[in-house]
């Protein structure tokens, strides 16, 4: 059984510096938000506010070459090494959001903490 999806392409900046290009595919029935809301809130918080909380996130981060369609946004030549995150968000067993996120090679930093 398939579900109708909404495709979004978002650009993230900080102080006019490119940070990321986010390509999202969201289950259509969860989309009760407008473009203005996406400019001021995260997609995940908007989904949660609309009654679509995420129970499980699966993600993979790898180095890839910058694609030509993202080069101008990132201000870097195509082929420049960048980080790509493939992310799947689930509510129960239902995949409600999938994204391919591309992070700038200089203006983005990934930091993690693991506590036991």
Mention every residue, 6+ apart, whose C-beta is less than 8 A from residue 57. Answer: 87, 88, 89, 90
Question: What is the pTM for the complete model shown?
Answer: 0.83
DSSP letters, 3-67, are: --EEEEEEEEEETTEEEEEEEEEEEGGG----HHHHHHS-HHHHHHHTT----EEEEEEEEEEPP
Show pLDDT as tens, one digit a residue, over the chain (116 residues): 577 888 889 899 999 999 999 999 987 776 666 666 667 777 888 788 888 888 999 999 999 999 999 999 999 999 999 999 999 999 898 888 899 999 998 999 888 887 87
List, in order of start, the domains of the chain with CATH numbers. Answer: 5-103 (3.40.1410.10)
Give CA–CA dist 16/116, Å, rounded.
Answer: 38
């Amino acid at each position: 059984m398939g579900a109708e999806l909404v495709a979004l392409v978002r650009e993230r900046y900080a102080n006019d510096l490119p940070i990321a290009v986010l390509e999202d595919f969201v289950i259509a029935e969860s989309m009760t938000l407008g473009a203005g809301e996406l400019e001021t809130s995260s997609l995940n918080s908007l989904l949660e506010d609309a009654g679509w909380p995420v129970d499980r996130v699966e993600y993979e981060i790898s180095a890839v070459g910058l694609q030509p369609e993202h080069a101008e946004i990132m201000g870097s030549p195509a082929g420049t090494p960048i980080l790509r995150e493939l992310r799947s968000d689930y509510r129960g067993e239902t995949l409600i959001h999938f994204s391919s996120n591309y992070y700038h090679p200089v203006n983005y930093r990934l930091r993690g903490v693991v506590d036991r």
